[in-house]
Homo-oligomer: A and B are copies of this chain.
């Protein structure tokens, strides 16, 4: 742990050691054919010996490219979409960035209302070559400002209002219809409740619409209601307050995410109702929680890591070819059957024998 601060070793130092010009060193290190093999050899040896590390600032200034991408997390999102979602996204982005030796910058908004937004941080620093935006709110004007600033941008999620922006997502509507029909068709549920996410996010709107489409498709037989939540566990529980359950109430609940489903599960328990026996429930996301509860929560598995990885790859392509036309990728989701819907337990459980 010696580490006293020494002056940075630069190209010049390496050049002097070898007896060539800095330009030659630069070319040698980047493998230019202009430099003879033997000189390149000596340059590399000298660079290693001196512990030369190129200055990213100088390189960025000269080449007008920082080699970094930013992951923008609008303030609300951090709360709205939760830790697990974000970690999957970060993992996907990092793995794509690592493959290209790019840096990943995470830009969040200040927690207090004061301070810059995550967007402003990225735009004002010009320190990233492009930006990824995770699940912004519907009509968030910052996205347009970001794109208008000339920075390549790829959005994670669905943004029908921004058809000119590149984005990667999955079909929340179909998925929500699918999981709702699972309750109706496979489990014969007839009195359904849907608890939405925050309706200023497209995801919530789409999941609600999927629920409603499933209900309409079986219209004559189904009673349905919708209550607004905000993706938080508490809102899942609160949605059930004042709602009548049991014989006279709902026999199935479609929560727009797993956190709310878990809140709902606890609320049901407090009301003395069992799931799935009294009320079947399903969630959405499958980021981990739904597997740990008892009963396990039937849900829609969503490929968040892949989403992010692909978005990052699209962003790199956009940085390379800024004039390319916008892209759209749609990923597959899948139904994960656990016990909360009434399906049999997958892993065998032997009660004490």
Residues in B with CB closer than 8 Å to A34 are none
Instruction: Indicate whether A343 reaches chain B with its CB closer than 8 angstroms.
Output: no
* Residues of A83-132 contacting chain B, CB below 8 A: 83-84, 86-88, 90-91, 94-95, 98-99, 101, 103-111, 115-116, 121, 123-127
Instruction: Decide if B349 touches A127 in the complex (CB within 8 Å).
Output: no
Residues in B with CB closer than 8 Å to A292 are 262, 289, 292-293
Residues in B with CB closer than 8 Å to A121 are 98, 101, 103
In the assembly, what is the distance between CA of A99 and CA of B106, in Å?
A: 15
Instruction: Decide if B352 touches A272 in the complex (CB within 8 Å).
Output: yes
A78 and chain B: residue at smallest CB distance: B91
Contact code string A25-65 (vs B, CB < 8 Å = 1, else 0): 00000000000000000000000000101111110110010
Instruction: Decide if A348 touches B270 in the complex (CB within 8 Å).
Output: yes
Instruction: Indicate whether A149 reaches chain B with its CB closer than 8 angstroms.
Output: yes
Instruction: Indicate whether A164 reaches chain B with its CB closer than 8 angstroms.
Output: yes
Contact code string A274-310 (vs B, CB < 8 Å = 1, else 0): 1000000000000011001110000000000000000
A312 to chain B, nearest CB (A): 13
Q: Which of B8, B90, B144, B349 contacts A106 (CB 8 A)?
A: B90
Instruction: Decide if A350 touches B294 in the complex (CB within 8 Å).
Output: no
In the assembly, what is the distance between CA of A330 and CA of B164, in Å?
A: 51
Please tell me the size bucket of the interface on A: 35 or more
Instruction: Decide if B87 touches A352 in the complex (CB within 8 Å).
Output: no
Instruction: Indicate whether A332 reaches chain B with its CB closer than 8 angstroms.
Output: no
A277 to chain B, nearest CB (A): 10
Instruction: Indicate whether A227 reaches chain B with its CB closer than 8 angstroms.
Output: no
Instruction: Indicate whether A248 reaches chain B with its CB closer than 8 angstroms.
Output: no
In the assembly, what is the distance between CA of A153 and CA of B144, in Å?
A: 38
Contact code string A193-225 (vs B, CB < 8 Å = 1, else 0): 000000000000000000000000000000000
Q: Which of B116, B162, B294 contacts A294 (CB 8 A)?
A: B294
Instruction: Decide if A288 touches B149 in the complex (CB within 8 Å).
Output: no
In the assembly, what is the distance between CA of A8 and CA of B6, in Å?
A: 34
Q: Which of B110, B150, B270 contacts A5 (CB 8 A)?
A: B150
A66 and chain B: residue at smallest CB distance: B57
Known: A1-B144, A60-B57, A68-B127. A98 touches B108 (CB 8 A): yes
Contacts A51-B149, A54-B124 known; list 9 others, CB within 8 Å: A6-B150, A53-B149, A60-B60, A61-B61, A94-B106, A94-B108, A98-B110, A103-B121, A293-B293
Where the two chains meet, the residues of A that have a C-beta atom closer than 8 Å to any C-beta of B are 1-6, 8, 51, 53-58, 60-61, 64, 66-68, 78, 83-84, 86-88, 90-91, 94-95, 98-99, 101, 103-111, 115-116, 121, 123-127, 144, 147-151, 162, 164-165, 262, 266, 269-274, 288-289, 292-294, 322, 347-353
